[in-house]
Each structure stands twice: as structure tokens, then as C-alpha cells.
Amino acid sequence: MMRPIREEPRSKSTCQSMCRTWPPKKRPPALTTGIVSWAAAVQKDVAFDNGTRLQFRWEIFNLMNHTNFDVPNRIAFTPNFGRIFNAKPSRQMQFGLKLQF
């Protein structure tokens, strides 16, 4: 007499290793450090008797003057792979004077 074949239930870890999904997940892009850029502004308004106003403004970008590098070269199997060639702008300041009449 023939006996029926009995299958053992698969454990969850076995199923996860054997049951793959298609298409495979994409790899994350090259990770870089975050951008640190503080901005500040100082403004002074002066009012005159005839209704004219003068506004002086001073703005600073990248206040801490932190170096922010661009993304490294991501083309594999090239001599420049992983190298960084550029950086974001350094500290910049601008002054403004506005006359409203």
C-alpha cells in the first residue's frame, strides 16, 4: 500500500529566503553628508518727517562658512569613482538700501 507524501510546513525564515520578489529592489544612491547652511539678516528702517522711509538691509548666507561638498562621482569602474570635484558656495554677504517715498 502506498502512503501519501506529507509536506512539512516551511518556517517563515525559509520562505523569506526562497520566495524572492521580482524585480529586485534598487540600490540607494550614493550617500553624502547633509548641507549645513545658515542664513541671517539685519534690517534697520528709518522714517523721515515727510513720509519717506529708508531701509538698510544686510544679509549673510552660509553664516558658519561650513564647506558643503557636492555629490561624489558615481560612475563605477572609472578613475574618478568616489571623488568629489566641487563644493557649494562659501559665505556670501549682500547689502541693500531702499528708499520709499
* pLDDT, tens only, 6-25: 555 555 555 555 555 555 56
**Which position has the grid cell 561624489?**
72
* pLDDT, tens only, 34-60: 788 899 999 999 999 999 999 999 999
Spatial separation of the C-alpha atoms in residues 67 and 25, rounded to whole Å = 33
C-alpha cell at 63: 553664516
Cβ burial of 37 (10 Å; 0-12, 13-18, 19+) is middle
